[in-house]
Amino acid sequence: MIAKIKHIIIITTIFFIGLVFYSCKNKEPKQFDFDAVKKEINKLPTNKRVAKWDSLIKLHQNDTLTGYLFFNRAYCNFFNNEYDEAINYFIKAQKKFSINRNERMLAEIYIRLGTAYNEKEEYKLGSKYLFKGIKLAMKFDDADILSPAYNELARIYYTYKEYDKSIAYLKKILAIAKKNNEVRDLVTVYNNIAIIYQEQGQNKKALEYLFKIIKLDIKNKIEPYNLLVFYDNLAFNTFNVTKDKNKALQYVDKSLKIARQNGLKSITTYEFLSKMYYELNQPDSAKYYLHKAINLNDKDKHKELIEMYDMLIQIELKQKKDTSILKMIRFRDSINDLYEEKIKNNSKNALKWNMKTVHQQKELLQVQKINKKNRIIFIFIIVMFVLGLIISFQFNRFDILKHKQEVFILEQKVLRSQMNPHFIFNVLSSIQNSLIEKNTITSVTYLSKFAKLIRQNFDFIQKKQILLKEELDMIQNYLDTQKFRFKDKFDYQINIDDKISSKEYLIPPMILQPFIENSIEHGFKNISYKGLVTINIKIIDNKLCFEIIDNGSGYEPKKDDKEHALDIFKKRLLLLGKEIYDSFKITRLQQGTKVVFCFDIIKA
């Protein structure tokens, strides 16, 4: 249902944006038949429109038309998801229209700026421009400007879960739609209000608004996908409120018919049917529709598939079909195994190709050495000079190849150290014990977390840099899994400096885990009190610095010939640069250990 809500919000946003921009047709100047030119440009593929607007901007740099050209150029960037570029050209258009005080166009620009900032999740700036646009638009009482502005404000409050305010702005759109008898707007708003009530668990109120749609003349006026979502919501809320299975199935039939006629996928419909039959204690029917949803789902959408398999596992647990559960777990594991095998094969093929190239070049070098003996001194000197360049080049290539090989081997060591068989066995044993104790929800939750942790490890190991947010998400998943395994023997804290946005900074992947693992596996091993791992992230001297502090028994370096996780970590730092390597320090505290290291700031 969450995925469905997101689709509705996106569709609504696009719909209202379309209304605004198409409404501009009667407001733009008629120089060189501007409307005809715009119409021709809009026939082009979206990736080619920007270049056309740029060529027109060059021809009309200093006249009143330029503002409209900037506006339409920004519009193309917006729909290409190039929000920074769109903001840049909306601001250029705003400066042009400020000169001749065209308040109507300024109102539209402010609202578009607000929408663009919302897409970047910069809601503070987004709301600022939206209110500025509304203030100007109120002078004209123009629905084409006000409706999308109210919709964006509703979207902001919905994001922050301030549902009453979100509904208040949707009702403003409702008033405009009723006044202008806009059926599509009415359907969209009623549906969105129903979704908000549905998310709050107020299914009865949601159903009231969905019934308002039934009373409208919606035939041939609503896009098939919106109609499909409407009947899915109607079925869901009808069943939850009235428990009337037959009535809910009538709406499901309509949804499936729309999907068949328009080539749409009925994934959410089948998901609803599976949940309904599960609630009606008909597990076989629930499984049947879950399998239909799985078969329709794109195979690369792993998250949705895992959620569906989690529900299947839950049903099988209820039916006590242990063989089926193991089969499903093996299937999930097989996806990760295939992915890992693909990575290994790609790496092996690349290594073989590089080695073959080096071998061929060495053979060529040998031929040149044999042939040079028969040449005159002048040619010999030239050949030696060329040979020197080739040797230098080959040594350079060999060093590069050696470096790549070291990185590859190091990546495998990192993966093995973080996903070692001992850890995997212990986690699975903990989940197994939880299943034996009949803690089904807990078991399924942590099985899902564990599967996600393995997938994250395979995803990140192939990347040179990942977002700080992605690293922290993986670390939290790892810590939660370990807490479950050790039965809450420790707690953890992650403290990020207010100046740091985890979505802006890039760091090497899987860099924190070795020390957290050391704290948990060794530092907390023989303590009688509750352990605590604290991760502090701050900016010091224009560096992104990490502190990992635990209150365990303290760091004791192992004296043996084995290569430990700390040795692998130091090698990674050395490959990243000497300055980064020098920043690394381990300090034994009065109670526990503190690890510090810093990276150069790299922004996404």
The CATH code of the domain that includes 538 is 3.30.565.10
More confident residue, 28 or 295: 295
- If asked whether residues 137 and 4 sit together in one domain, one would say yes
* Over residues 115-139, mean pLDDT: 86
- pLDDT tens, residue by residue, 201-226: 888 888 888 888 877 777 666 778 77
- If asked whether residues 458 and 498 sit together in one domain, one would say no
- If asked whether residues 71 and 31 sit together in one domain, one would say yes
User: If you average pLDDT over every residue of the chain, what do you get?
Assistant: 77
Does 16 reside within a domain? yes
- If asked whether residues 9 and 154 sit together in one domain, one would say yes
Task: Please check the confidence at residue 160 and state whether its pLDDT lies above 70.
Answer: yes
H or E stretch at 310? helix 302-319
H or E stretch at 589? strand 585-589
- If asked whether residues 496 and 452 sit together in one domain, one would say no
* Over residues 336-355, mean pLDDT: 50
- If asked whether residues 398 and 497 sit together in one domain, one would say no
CB-based burial, 586-596: b 16+ in 10 Å, e otherwise: eeeeeebbbbb
Report the pLDDT value the prediction gives residue 1, as an integer from 0 to 100. Answer: 44
Does 280 reside within a domain? no
- The tally of CA atoms less than 13 A away on the side-chain side of residue 257 is 7
- If asked whether residues 160 and 45 sit together in one domain, one would say yes
- pLDDT tens, residue by residue, 275-297: 888 888 888 888 888 888 878 77
Task: Please check the confidence at residue 11 and state whether its pLDDT lies above 60.
Answer: no
Beta strands 543-550 and 466-467, pairing class: unpaired
Task: Please check the confidence at residue 234 and state whether its pLDDT lies above 50.
Answer: yes
Report the pLDDT value the prediction gives residue 495, as an integer from 0 to 100. Answer: 94
- If asked whether residues 153 and 13 sit together in one domain, one would say yes
* Structure token pair of residue 93: 């258009």
Does 279 reside within a domain? no
CA distance 270 to 138: 45
Task: Please check the confidence at residue 338 and state whether its pLDDT lies above 60.
Answer: no
What's the pLDDT band for 371 if we cut at 50, 70, 90?
Answer: low
Report the pLDDT value the prediction gives residue 6, as an integer from 0 to 100. Answer: 44
Check residue 182 and give left, alpha or beta (phi > 0: left; psi -120 to 50: alpha). Answer: beta
Beta strands 585-589 and 592-600, pairing class: antiparallel
- pLDDT tens, residue by residue, 444-477: 888 888 888 888 878 887 788 899 999 999 899 9
Report the pLDDT value the prediction gives residue 534, as an integer from 0 to 100. Answer: 96
Domain that residue 457 falls in: 323-462
Helix axis angle for 46-59 and 66-79, nearest 10°, is 160
What's the pLDDT band for 319 if we cut at 50, 70, 90?
Answer: confident
What's the pLDDT band for 505 if we cut at 50, 70, 90?
Answer: very high
- If asked whether residues 500 and 456 sit together in one domain, one would say no
| Range with top average pLDDT, 121-130, 326-335, 470-479 | 470-479
- If asked whether residues 442 and 498 sit together in one domain, one would say no
- Choose the weakest-confidence range: 408-422, 436-450, 496-510: 408-422
Question: Which residues have a Cβ under 8 Å from the Cβ of 85 and sit 6 or more positions away?
Answer: 74, 77
Taken in order 336, 340, 345, 347, is the CA torsion positive or negative? positive
pTM for this structure? 0.41
Out of 133, 160, 180, pick the residue that ends a domain: 180
- Helix and strand tally (H, E) in the chain? 24, 7
Does 343 reside within a domain? yes
Taken in order 306, 312, 318, 322, is the CA torsion positive or negative? negative
CA distance 251 to 235: 5
Does 534 reside within a domain? yes
The radius of gyration of the chain's CA atoms, rounded to the nearest angstrom, is 31
Q: How many domains does the chain have?
A: 3
What's the pLDDT band for 356 if we cut at 50, 70, 90?
Answer: very low
Long-range contacts of 117-126, Cβ-Cβ distance < 8 Å, separation of 24 or more: 117/83, 117/87, 118/152, 118/155, 118/156, 119/78, 119/81, 119/83, 120/83, 120/84, 123/156, 123/159, 123/160, 126/152, 126/156
What's the pLDDT band for 361 if we cut at 50, 70, 90?
Answer: very low
Out of 160, 180, 200, pick the residue that ends a domain: 180
Task: Please check the confidence at residue 424 and state whether its pLDDT lies above 80.
Answer: no
- Choose the weakest-confidence range: 190-204, 242-256, 337-351, 462-476: 337-351
Q: Are 577 and 518 in contact (CB under 8 A)?
A: no
Report the pLDDT value the prediction gives residue 525, as an integer from 0 to 100. Answer: 83
- If asked whether residues 16 and 102 sit together in one domain, one would say yes
Does 33 reside within a domain? yes
- The dihedrals phi and psi of 14, each to the nearest 5 degrees, come to -65, -40
Out of 180, 214, 248, pick the residue that ends a domain: 180
3-state secondary structure of 267: helix
- pLDDT tens, residue by residue, 562-604: 656 677 777 777 777 788 888 899 998 888 999 999 998 888 7
- If asked whether residues 408 and 533 sit together in one domain, one would say no
Does 589 reside within a domain? yes
